Amino acid sequence: MTAPNKSPSALNAATVGLSLIVGGLGVWTVFAGPTELLPIHYSASGQADDWGTRELVGGVLIAMAALTLALGAGMGLASRRTDDPARARALRYAQLVVILSLPLVSLLAASASLSGTTNIGGAVPVALISLVFLLIGAFLGRVGPNPFVGVRTPWAYKSRLAWDRSNRLAGRLFFVIGLAGLLTAPFAPSPLNLYVLLTAIGVAAVWSVLESWRVWRTDPDRQPF
C-alpha cells in the first residue's frame, strides 16, 4: 500500500472502498445469506460455541463497515486539518491501521461464519489471523496520539515519549508474533497453535501497557495527573 505521507487520497479511497465491501457483504448476508444458524463465536481452542442468524451476522458486518468508515474518515479529516506535517503523517498511519484491522478482521470472521466453519484452529485460519497482526504491527509504531488506535493508556496521553515508545514496542511485538504465527502455521499442532498465538498477543498487550507507565514515570517532560 502507498505510504501515508505520500498519498493520503489513496488511504481515503481505500477507507471508502473497504467499508463498501464489508457493508455490501453485510447487506447480502441479511437478504441472501445462508438460512441456517451460523457460527458467531469461537472458544480459545478454536471451536464454535455460539450460533446466530444471518440477520445478526449481516448486521455486525454493516456495523463494522460503518465503524471503519467513521474512524478512517475521521483520521483522514484530522490529518488534513492539522498544520503539523509530523502530526498529519502520524494520523494517516492511524488511518492505515484502522483499514488494515477492522475490514480484514470483519472479512475473516464473515468467511468463517458464512462457510459454517466450526474450527478456526487449523493452519489456514491461524495463518490469516497472524497475517493481520503482522500488518498491524508493521505500522502501529508510527501512529500518533489519538483516541482510537494504539496503546491508549492514561500515561501515554500524559507523555509523548511514553506514547511513542509503548506503541513502537507493541508494533514490533505484534509484527514478530504475526510473522512467527505465519511461518509456523503449516505444521504447528491444533489447538496449541491458537493457544500460543492468543497468549502471545495478550502478553504483548500487557507488556506495552506497562511500558507506557514505565516511560511516563521516568519522563521529565511528562504531564501530571
pLDDT of residue 5: 53
Asked if residue 49 lies in contact with residue 43, where contact means CB atoms within 8 angstroms, the answer is yes
Per the CB < 8 A criterion, the answer to whether 171 and 141 are in contact is yes
d(CA 115, CA 45): 19
Q: Alpha-carbon distance 156 to 93, whole Å?
A: 17
> How many Å apart are CA 198 and CA 214, to the nearest integer?
24
Per-residue pLDDT of the chain in tens (225 residues, 90 and over written 9): 555 654 678 999 999 999 999 999 999 999 999 999 999 999 999 999 999 999 999 999 999 999 999 999 999 999 999 999 999 999 999 999 999 999 999 999 999 999 999 999 999 999 999 999 999 999 999 999 999 999 999 999 999 999 999 999 999 999 999 999 999 999 999 999 999 999 999 999 999 999 999 999 999 999 988
Q: What is the pLDDT of residue 64?
A: 98
pLDDT at residue 99, as a whole number: 93
**How is residue 216 written as a grid cell?**
511516563
Is 15 in contact with 69 (CB distance < 8 Å)? yes
Q: Partners of 50 in the beta sheet?
A: 41
Q: Quick count: other Cβ atoms within 10 Å of Cβ 122?
A: 15
Distance between CA atoms of residues 114 and 58, nearest Å = 10
By C-alpha distance, which of 110, 108, 126, 17 is closest to 60?
110
